[in-house]
Structure 1
Amino acid sequence: MSIGLGYHIPYFNHTATPGELFPALAAQAAAAEAAGFDLVTTMDHFHQPPLVGPSTGPMLEAYTLLGALAAVTSRVRLGTMVTGNTYRNPALLAKMVTTLDVISGGRALLGLGAGWHEEEHRGYGFEFGTLVDRFGRLAESLEIVLPMLRGERPVFHGRFHRAEGAINEPRMRDDLPLLIGGGGEKRTFGLAARHASHLNIICPTAELPRKMAAVRARCAEVGRDPATLEVSFATPLILDEDGDRARKLLEEVLGRAGVELSQLSGAEREAATDRFFAGTPEEVAERLRDRVLGLGVTGLMVNMLANAHDPAAIALAGRTLRPLVGAAV
């Protein structure tokens, strides 16, 4: 199952009232489906992330939202980019994503990561722990979640998690795909090589050649053909027929996170904007071909930071990017 072109819902602060929000999100998902995107994702957060705005801003719970979007779409696959492993008991998570798969008619994808947002953990009472702890939790979760997705009833007693024959019925299938997201060359890529169908890499494009070499190395360590692990790239995107307007919007987005591009040197500015794709369709397509897709990446997970709620912008992104990753599947 390819996820060649993904559309990510990056914010929930674009409507005047809460009652207007879901209709707007449903329209976004429908526009992405019509534009040829293969996958629609949402973030799994409880506080608004820094690039969007203050942490007190609006944020919807991911799986409740995805279940509702399943009812207003018919083709696109649905998932998180990515589920914070620390936020849910793994057996419950398996049940939740399988329920989404049933509701959507077999269109769910489980995106999973170790978790990173310390303020969010503290606010909601989730244990954050060390990086080693979080990856230990993730590895243990996979020992429960993956068998449950196949209809097995795992018995597992670990340091962080346990299961006593948890039942996961009904199910649509035994091969619900797992996507692991992140940029960690050892732990994250290692878990993806062992367990996942897909890996979504988050990094500046300057680091991508090294990341792709690390993917191949982790696959070799477990005897896996790297061609069997689909790799996509997290693609923050601002497209506009007016390239200067797109770049101005990027400045505004980074400014919300405290990055003032006008105050940076040329080298600092290049480093701050390296992983962002802002410009005309032609400029963005050329850069993606040269710096991402030419390195063996096969999918793009598009985060339209400034205008993801605009149907015209979604359509423009589809027209621009669909030819780069092949026909819709």
Structure 2
Amino acid sequence: MEFAVNIPTSCGSGEYTNLAFCDEISWEKQHSFGTHMESLGFDGLAVPDHLITGNGSTMECLTTVTALAVATDDVYLYPKTINNPLRHAPLLAKAAASIDVVSDGRLKLGMGAGWKADEAEAYGYDWGDAPSRLRQLEEAIELMKAMWTGDTVSYDGDYYSLDEAICRPEPVQSPHPTIMVGGGGEQFTLRITAKHADVWNFWGSTDVMERKLNVLADHCATYDTDYDAIQKSWFARCVIRETEEEVEELLEAVPRFRPENMGKDDNHLVGTPEDIIADIKRYVDLGIEEVVVEFVDFPRQEGADMFAEEVIPAFE
């Protein structure tokens, strides 16, 4: 089992922020938290990809990942998840190869079709419908793999066209950096995962994850790809304290994580270490092999410290 920690890129009020104790994001907070997560023994650092979230600063994903590559030694670096329409895929291939070199082979590249139209439109991007963004995502993964593994690459697709493009230096990882596809769309996203991905990540209850995994297995059968070779990953936010009374006190600051405030398909890690171990075991039983957590008390370190000391050892 692998455990990665989300390094937030934004905070404050907004539809995508859940950090009650962080008024403003900064590189200093990200750096301090990320290096401490490595010292605690977490396997990876995940960084969201957004341009405008919350009502304050939003740090750019790839810049943050590169800075964390220099600041750390062993954790994998996990853009999670690149909003594909915001990046020209051939240039992303070049940037990803460079990050893999800078980090000595620690890049784990999360890819998705994007969902947050308002920030893309604010920055002047054309925002296509979901099917077109997903077809574009599939082309992006195809050509990135070709650029990472080929000498000169020509590509003629509906969304990208290359004429003897060269991507040097090549990534350190062979044949290429790990690719995660994020999302739960059963017709398109899980098909793309079955055909192209090394890892699949989604969020939700065990019922949701079980259904998605069954669909993924069906797509793998269609393409004759190895379902077991795809790492299955789950994302959750975490509210952890030693006692039920302390959990309740923290929930006063983050009430959206109370059971009555979550949808029937939601699930986050809320409770004492014993509660959270039991919850994660239910996902392990489904075949989940990576858990990505965001601690809602960021930039405080109490939750992460407790998770590392009392939860991770149960899965070693």
When normalised by structure 2's length, the TM-score is 0.89
- Partner amino acid for 1:302? V
Matched, 1:313 2:303: yes
Partner of 1:287 in structure 2? Answer: 279
Runs of at least 4 residues off by over 6 Å: 14-18
CA contact (8 A) 1:183 1:203 kept: no
Q: Distance in 2 between matches of 1:250 and 1:151?
A: 51
CA separation of 1:224/1:211 partners in 2, compared to 1, >3 Å: closer, same or farther?
Answer: same
Q: What does residue 51 of structure 1 align with? A: none
Describe the SS at the equivalent of 1:148: helix
Q: Which residue of 2 aligns with 1:167?
A: 166
Whether 2:288 is the aligned partner of 1:297: answer yes
Matched residue, 2:68: 69
Counting matched residue pairs gives: 305
Deviations 1:80-130 (A, max 9, x none): 110000001100000111111111111111110011001111111111111
Unmatched runs of 5 consecutive residues or more in structure 1: 49-54
C-alpha separation between the residues in 2 aligned to 1:134 and 1:125?
Answer: 16
The residue aligned with 1:33 is 38
Identity of aligned residues (%): 26
- The answer to whether the Cα contact below 8 Å between 2:45 and 2:77 also exists between their aligned partners in 1 is yes
CA distance in 2, matches of 1:214, 1:280: 33
The answer for the alignment partner of 2:147 in structure 1 is 148
Is the 1:180–1:198 contact (alpha carbons within 8 Å) kept by the matching residues of 2?
yes
Query: Considering only aligned residues, what root-mean-square deviation do their CA atoms show, in Å?
Result: 2.3
Q: Secondary structure at the match of 1:60?
A: coil
**SS of alignment partner, residue 165 of structure 1:** strand
1:116 has 2:115 as partner: yes
2:302 corresponds to 1:322: no
Give the corresponding residue for 2:4. 6
Structure 1 residues 119 and 246: alpha-carbon distance in aligned structure 2, compared to 1, 3 A threshold: farther
In 2, Cα distance between equivalents of 1:251 and 1:152: 57
Inter-CA distance 270–235: structure 2 relative to 1 (3 Å threshold): closer
Q: Which position in structure 1 is the counterpart of 2:16?
A: none
* Cα distance, 1:270–1:116 mapped onto 2, change above 3 Å: closer
- 1:75-224 to structure 2, matched below 5 A, reads 75-171=74-170, 172-173=172-173, 174-224=175-225
Asked if the contact 1:289–1:324 (Cα under 8 Å) also holds between the matched residues in 2, the reply is no
* Aligned match of 2:18: none
Decide whether aligned partners of structure 1 residues 246 and 193 sit closer, same or farther in structure 2, where only a CA change above 3 A counts: same
Q: Would the aligned equivalents of 1:113 and 1:180 in 2 still touch at CA under 8 Å?
A: yes
1:283-326 per-residue CA deviation (whole Å, 9 max, x = no partner) reads: 11111212x1111111101122x213223322212223423543
Structure 1 CA distance for aligned equivalents of residues 79 and 232 of structure 2: 16
Q: Which residue of 2 aligns with 1:52?
A: none
Q: Deviations over 1:120-150 (max 9, x none)?
A: 1111111111111111110111221111122
SS of the equivalent of 1:71 reads helix
- 1:66 and 1:89 map into 2 onto residues whose CA distance is 18
Describe the shift of the 1:4–1:43 C-alpha distance in structure 2 as closer, same or farther (beyond 3 A).
same
Q: Give the match for residue 55 of structure 2.
A: 56
Deviation of residue 244 (structure 1)?
4.2
1: CA distance, partners of 2:148 / 2:298: 32
Inter-CA distance 12–120: structure 2 relative to 1 (3 Å threshold): closer
What is the CA–CA distance in structure 2 between the aligned matches of 1:189 and 1:273, rounded to whole Å?
18
Which is bigger in relative contact order (C-alpha 8 A, separation at least 6)?
1
Confirm or deny that 1:277 pairs with 2:269. yes
CA distance, structure 1, for counterparts of residue 160 and residue 248 of structure 2? 46
- Structure 1 position 56, deviation (Å): 2.6
For 1:31 and 1:160, how far apart are their aligned partners in 2? 41
Helix, strand or coil for the counterpart of 2:147?
Answer: helix
Taking structure 1 as reference, are residues 324 and 294 closer, same or farther at Cα in structure 2, changes over 3 Å only?
farther
| In structure 2, C-alpha distance between the alignment counterparts of 1:223 and 1:324, rounded to whole Å | 35
Deviates more, 1:86-95 or 1:181-190: 181-190
The verdict on how the C-alpha distance between 1:217 and 1:150 changes in structure 2, with shifts beyond 3 A counting, is same
Structure 2 stretches lacking a partner, 5+ long: 12-20
Q: 1:86 to 1:248 in 2, by over 3 A?
A: farther
